[in-house]
Amino acid sequence: MKVVLFCGGLGTRLREHSDTIPKPLVNIGVRPILWHLMRYYAHYGHKDFILCLGYRGEMIREYFLNYNECLSNDFVMTDGGRHIDLLQRDIQDWRITFVDTGLHSNIGQRLLRVRSYLAGEEEFLANYADALTDLPLDQYIDDFRRRKVVASLVAVRSPQSFHCVHADDDGLVTAFGKMSESDFWINAGFFCLRNDIFNYIEEGDELVEEPFARLIARRQLSVYRYRGFWQQMDTFRDKILYDRMEGRGDCPWMVWKK
């Protein structure tokens, strides 16, 4: 299955990095989160990627055009560095299509801009490109196919803690406390889609608003609830969390190492 990655957002909540680089290029260790996500999909055999570029898209192009496999693979150096033998490789069998989908386009419009690259594909995967998980992707795809819906999304429990407030009509609080994690599920940004999704998107639509509302009305949108690891890269706090996990070798999203 082809994998559509939405890489064009401004990343305004991660300004410590996104002022200079696009959010998908923010590093976790020596590689950007985009690379980690692509390695995750490639581990399950999905190596044909379509990158929907926008904000600082030229930097994503340059990253792959100047890709150095030695940074993430063991190698033997001889002849004073003039000869390198890689002991493993990572992206040599990937196919990556780079598409400028506009600076200010929303997710729905970015998907419409790459429709021609999905011609003939009965189904495909899509992702916001700002979170990692250890979701068993093959099981998720099987669930999607079994349900025979147009679209499916992964839902996870919110990793954040919220206080839930109940009040009466006079504005007086009647109950206050932490919301149970089991009561609050959020869109994880991992999608399985059939090509029929394009019948539900109109010019200007945001993917998860108008098109998903149309799918819901026709009972064509399903959810796959996942209780395992999922973490977004949305704020500087998230970046620090990822750096600490990578530093101590606690990287559940690296399914290719298991």
Instruction: Give the chain's domains with CATH numbers.
Output: 2-157+183-257 (3.90.550.10)
Q: What is the pLDDT of residue 94?
A: 96
138, two tokens: 């093959």
pLDDT band at 12 (very low <50, low <70, confident <90, very high): very low
Q: What is the pLDDT of residue 10?
A: 66
pTM of this prediction exceeds 0.75: yes
Mean pLDDT of 64-92: 83
Q: What is the pLDDT of residue 155?
A: 95
Residue 13 has pLDDT above 60, yes or no: no
More confident residue, 255 or 30: 255
pLDDT band at 162 (very low <50, low <70, confident <90, very high): low
Q: What is the pLDDT of residue 173?
A: 81
Q: What is the pLDDT of residue 234?
A: 86
Q: What is the pLDDT of residue 137?
A: 98
pLDDT band at 106 (very low <50, low <70, confident <90, very high): very high
- Tens digits of residue pLDDT in 175-231: 776 665 556 789 999 999 999 999 999 999 999 999 999 999 999 999 999 999 999
Residue 15 has pLDDT above 60, yes or no: no
Mean pLDDT of 233-255: 93
Residue 115 has pLDDT above 80, yes or no: yes
Q: What is the pLDDT of residue 22?
A: 87
Q: Concatenate the DSSP letters of all residues of the chain into one string.
A: -EEEEE-----GGGHHHHTTS-GGG-EETTEEHHHHHHHHHHHTT--EEEEEE-TTHHHHHHHHHT--GGGTS-EEEEGGGTEEEES--SSTT-EEEEEE--SS--HHHHHHHTGGGGTT-SEEEEE-SSEEE---HHHHHHHHHHHT-SEEEEEEE-SS--EEEEE-TTS-EEEEEEPPGGG-EEEEEEEEEEGGGGGS--TT--TTTHHHHHHHHTT-EEEEEE-S-EEE--SHHHHHHHHHHHHTT--TT-GGG-
Residue 65 has pLDDT above 50, yes or no: yes
